[in-house]
């Protein structure tokens, strides 16, 4: 009967593919001397490429990843461009503020005063409008709950509590 020697006892030498230093392999197919060399090797091999583009609003040049769909250099430019390009944006801002005042800056579901949003009772995608009567002030947590109810009711009539 042949005694099998565990691989760890064979102590095969290897050369790290990243730093090119000698090391003792722990596993037969090991290519790197450490996890840091492994991480750095793959970071350098699959480096994300950046390109320079101009902001759609202010024409300022900024860098973005080639995989990014970013067209503005900042959130401010994004907001200002939408405000100019979509005049109804200001009307929506006024409606949201009016609804917040009507509901006393309080979530109508749980009474919270934090992280408030203006929610469409009947979603726009289901024929609801931007009327003040179709809006309600709720917190982000309750907003998530309401949207989960809408998803559950998609196969029937869309109703909210």
Where along the chain do its domains lie? 7-45, 50-85, 87-152
pLDDT digits (tens, 9 = 90+) for 79-130: 887 777 666 666 778 888 899 999 999 999 999 999 999 998 888 777 788 8
CA 84 to chain centre: 26
Model confidence pLDDT, tens digit, residues 26-40: 888 899 999 999 988
Comparing 30-34, 93-97, 150-154, 155-159, which segment has the lowest mean pLDDT?
155-159
**Cα 77 → chain centroid:** 19
**Where does the pLDDT of residue 6 fall: very low under 50, low under 70, confident under 90, or very high at 90 and above?**
low
Contacts of 49 (CB under 8 A, 6+ apart): 65, 66
- CA-atom Rg of the chain in angstroms: 29
| Pairwise CA distance, residues 148 & 140, whole Å | 12
pTM metric for this prediction: 0.43
Count CB neighbours of 16 within 10 A. 17
Check pLDDT > 70 for residue 158: no
Answer whether CATH 1.10.10 is correct for domain 7-45.
no
């Amino acid at each position: 009967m042949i005694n099998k020697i565990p691989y760890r006892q064979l102590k095969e030498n290897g050369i790290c593919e990243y730093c090119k230093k000698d090391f003792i392999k722990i596993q037969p197919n090991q290519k790197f001397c450490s996890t840091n060399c492994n991480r750095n090797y793959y970071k350098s091999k699959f480096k994300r490429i950046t390109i320079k583009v101009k902001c759609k609003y202010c024409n300022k040049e900024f860098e973005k990843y080639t995989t990014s769909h970013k067209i503005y250099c900042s959130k401010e430019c994004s907001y200002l461009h939408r405000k100019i390009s979509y005049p109804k944006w200001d009307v929506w801002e006024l409606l949201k503020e009016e609804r917040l005042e009507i509901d006393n800056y309080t979530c109508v579901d749980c009474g919270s005063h934090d992280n408030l949003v203006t929610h469409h009772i009947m979603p726009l995608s289901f024929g609801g409008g931007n009327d003040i009567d179709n809006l309600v002030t709720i917190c982000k947590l309750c907003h998530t709950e309401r949207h989960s109810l809408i998803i559950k009711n998609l196969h029937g009539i869309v109703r909210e509590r």
